[in-house]
Amino acid sequence: MAGPNERAISAASCTFRINNKVVGAGQNVRASENITNQPVFELGEIDVVEHVPTQRTVQLNVGTVRLRRRSLQAQGVWPRGGTVDVLQFPEMVAELYDEFSDVPLVKIEGVRAATRDISVDVGGIVMVNATFDGRRMYDEFDR
């Protein structure tokens, strides 16, 4: 429990940027990287000889408070239009910053829009929850 001189975190804890442009304040943020390994067996042996990495997937889930006239499409970070528009939409770079640093906590390259949903809470707060697929994830130590 927070004391009289301590502050409990109760609001957005990061800034969400795409292509170096602030998109919104991130809430309920999750960035994940999954490396899939395949076992290698030797003929006649029951034990695995080694595990070989065969693929890496990266996913970013971000909830942001939606501001009027600042939808993800209006900001140019979500495809708008038909099939050709979606197919030609360029890959992006996503970054998450905390309020105390100018170095990103997480940087994801090769980001593409995957899913989004919009929710309206009591009191009229509109949240946009978006998922992006990426090619590579870096933390604050990768430059």
- 49, 57, 73 from 52: Cα distances, Å: 10, 15, 40
Q: Higher pLDDT residue, 15 or 101?
A: 15
pLDDT at 12: 55
Q: What is the mean pLDDT of residues 15-34?
A: 90
CATH pick for 14-37+50-139 out of 1.10.3470, 1.10.10, 2.40.30, 1.10.8: 2.40.30
- 32, 64, 139 from 127: Cα distances, Å: 21, 6, 26
Question: What phi and psi, each to the nearest 5 degrees, are found at residue 88?
Answer: -90, 0
Pairing of strands 126-134, 106-120: antiparallel
Q: What is the mean pLDDT of residues 15-39?
A: 91
pLDDT at 8 over 70: no
Task: Please write the tens of the pLDDT for every residue from 53-102.
Answer: 999 999 999 988 776 778 899 899 999 999 999 999 999 999 998 877 78
Q: Which two structure tokens, joined as six digits, stand for 100? A: 């105390």
Per-domain boundaries in the chain: 14-37+50-139
pLDDT at 10: 47
Q: Which two structure tokens, joined as six digits, stand for 123? A: 């009191």
